[in-house]
Amino acid sequence: MTLQLAKPAPPDDDKRWKMVEVTMRRSGYASHALIETLHRVQGLFGYLDEPAMNFVAESLGLPLSKVYGVATFYHLFSLKPQGKHTCVICTGTACYIKGARELVDGLRQKYGIELGQTTPDLELSAVGARCIGACGLAPAAVVDGEVLGNLTVDQLLARIEKVIHDAT
């Protein structure tokens, strides 16, 4: 067993990292927990990006190259989308029941993209997540890191328009 002296800090104060930490702790931060941990990150955030993979690598005491290797080898993992802005829509059970589908439809109608796609101008990527740990706020989405709950299609689209507009 590896002695873990100081645990690395998560990339930011997003509460979902606590859930990722629980997954790693359950396995004693052992390296064999890598795939399960990446699954967890992807389930919560919708994709894997560099800060996430750094965090997982450091926490499990693995070289970053190993984490990238696993993340790119298995097709079930998707790396950070290409768009300047990211909208993660939770399609977990609670959110689905409360209208996640309408959110996905709204996104398709307005931007012409499905979950997992990026607009041709690279402004927006849409990603699906299985449960972002905010079921009480269903339907929920995360736009550029901000968790939004009890969402209507109009609210979601307005928020996306705002982040795109503010950045230009």
Smallest separation (angstroms) from ligand FES to the CB of 67: 25
The candidate with the shortest Cα–Cα distance to 42, out of 105, 112, 120, 132, is 132
Rank residues 67 and 138 by Cβ distance to ligand FES and give the closer one: 138
Round to whole Å and give the CA distance between 58 and 56: 6
Q: Which one among 124, 132, 143, 160 touches ligand FES, defined by CB under 6 A?
A: 132
Rank residues 60 and 129 by Cβ distance to ligand FES and give the closer one.
129
> Does residue 139 have a cis peptide bond before it, meaning omega lies within 30 degrees of 0?
yes
Q: In what order do the strands lie in the sheet with 141-143?
A: 124-129, 85-90, 141-143, 146-148
- Return the closest-CA partner of residue 78 out of 117, 132, 25: 117
Q: Which residue sits closest to ligand FES, CB atoms considered?
A: 92
Does the protein bind ligand FES through residue 90 (CB under 6 A)?
Answer: yes
127 binds ligand FES (CB under 6 A): no
Q: Does 164 bind ligand FES (CB under 6 A)?
A: no
Q: Is there binding between residue 151 and ligand FES (CB under 6 A)? A: no
Q: What is d(CA 108, CA 87) in angstroms, rounded to the nearest whole number? A: 12
Which chain residues interact with ligand FES by CB under 6 A?
Answer: 90, 92-95, 131-135, 138, 140
